[in-house]
């Protein structure tokens, strides 16, 4: 009789008889890589990303226009915050970030608007609209948000372009002259005298040695009328050389 138990002691027992076993949870890599495996339904829609890009582009354009303003450097922080939304792929995180950054930008924009400084508001509005512009949730809502964003951007860029043209490109039709004393139009020159020469604006800037007097005039003035205005300014007691501003400022 053959012993069926022969050699039984040489067979592996326990888990080893089934081969190597995996232990512990399956490894998926760093947490940051989870976004890479997000399905199409979990990623932001291209329309939302485009609107976020529009908000960043709008903020960059308005920051460039306002770069010479004393508050121009303040716009760098909103610009960086708005641009950060472009690096988010997961739609819930994108929506949360847009609402947070857009909401704070809107509040800051309202505060700056009380000082006549409006460049933050348009980008904040576009970013808030981008949070709700997911066609997978509502096609109608996404279409309305996109249309309003384009309208806001068009109005803001038109206003910025007009401001840039008037500040840097359009002829200013102005003369500038340095005179002695401060607030010269109050101390030594009656403004009424200048208005008679076709002047449309009188501006004064305090200097260490006196006052820089800038006058703008009607562009329809004839050559002799402009010559008379220049002669009047040059005859002001203590007046320095007269400058024709041409384009831009009289600095």
pLDDT in tens, 143-153: 999 999 999 99
Q: What is the DSSP letter of 67?
A: T
Q: What is the DSSP letter of 16?
A: G
Q: What percent of the chain has pLDDT over 70?
A: 74
244 neighbors 168 (Cβ within 8 angstroms): no
The mean per-residue pLDDT over the stretch 211-235 comes to 88
What are the residues whose beta carbons fall under 8 Å from the beta carbon of 109, sequence distance 6 or more?
Answer: 118, 120, 121, 124
pLDDT confidence of residue 189: 67
Burial class of residue 245 in the structure, from the number of CB atoms within 10 Å of its CB (0-12 exposed, 13-18 middle, 19+ buried): middle
3-state SS class at 174: strand
62 neighbors 122 (Cβ within 8 angstroms): yes
pLDDT tier at 80, thresholds 50, 70, 90: very high
First to last CA, the chain: 118
- The model scores a pTM over 0.85: no
| Average pLDDT, rounded, for the chain | 80
Which contacts qualify for 140-143: CB closer than 8 Å, 24 or more apart? 142/45, 142/47
In the numeric block, which tokens belong to residue 126? 């576009």
Summarize pLDDT for 98-152 with one digit per residue, the tens. 999 999 999 999 998 888 788 899 999 999 999 999 999 999 999 999 999 999 9
- Ramachandran class of 56: left when φ > 0, alpha when ψ lies in -120 to 50, beta otherwise: alpha
CA pair distance 225, 218, nearest whole angstrom: 10
Domain residue ranges of the chain, discontinuous segments joined by +: 38-169, 174-244
The distance between the two most distant Cα atoms of the chain, rounded to a whole number of Å, is 139
3-state SS class at 29: coil
Task: Specify the residue for token string 């053959």.
Answer: 2
CA pair distance 227, 230, nearest whole angstrom: 5
Q: How many residues does the structure list for the chain?
A: 251
Q: Is domain 174-244 given the CATH code 3.30.70.260 in the classification?
A: yes
Give the number of other CB atoms < 10 A from CB of residue 243: 15
């Amino acid at each position: 009789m053959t012993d069926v138990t022969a050699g039984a002691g040489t067979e592996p027992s326990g888990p080893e008889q089934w081969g190597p076993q995996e232990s512990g949870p399956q490894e998926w890599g760093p947490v940051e890589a989870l976004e890479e495996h997000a399905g199409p339904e979990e990623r932001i829609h291209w329309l939302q990303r485009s609107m976020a890009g529009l908000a960043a582009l709008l903020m960059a354009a308005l920051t460039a226009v306002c770069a010479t303003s004393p508050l121009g450097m303040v716009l760098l922080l909103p610009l960086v915050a708005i641009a950060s939304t472009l690096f988010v792929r997961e739609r819930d995180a994108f929506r949360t970030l847009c609402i947070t950054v857009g909401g704070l930008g809107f509040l800051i924009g309202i505060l700056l608007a009380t000082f006549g400084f409006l460049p933050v508001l348009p980008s904040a509005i576009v970013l808030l609209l981008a949070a709700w512009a997911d066609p997978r949730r509502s096609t109608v809502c996404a279409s309305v948000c996109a249309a309003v964003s384009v309208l806001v951007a068009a109005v803001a860029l038109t206003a910025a372009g007009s401001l840039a043209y008037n500040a840097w490109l359009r002829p200013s039709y102005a003369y500038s002259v340095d005179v002695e004393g401060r607030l010269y139009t109050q101390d030594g020159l009656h403004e009424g005298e200048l208005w008679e020469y076709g002047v449309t604006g009188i501006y004064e800037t305090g200097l260490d040695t006196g006052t820089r007097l800038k006058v703008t005039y009607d562009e329809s003035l004839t050559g002799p009328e402009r010559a008379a205005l220049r002669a009047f300014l040059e005859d002001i007691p203590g007046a320095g050389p007269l400058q024709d501003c041409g384009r831009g400022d009289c600095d």
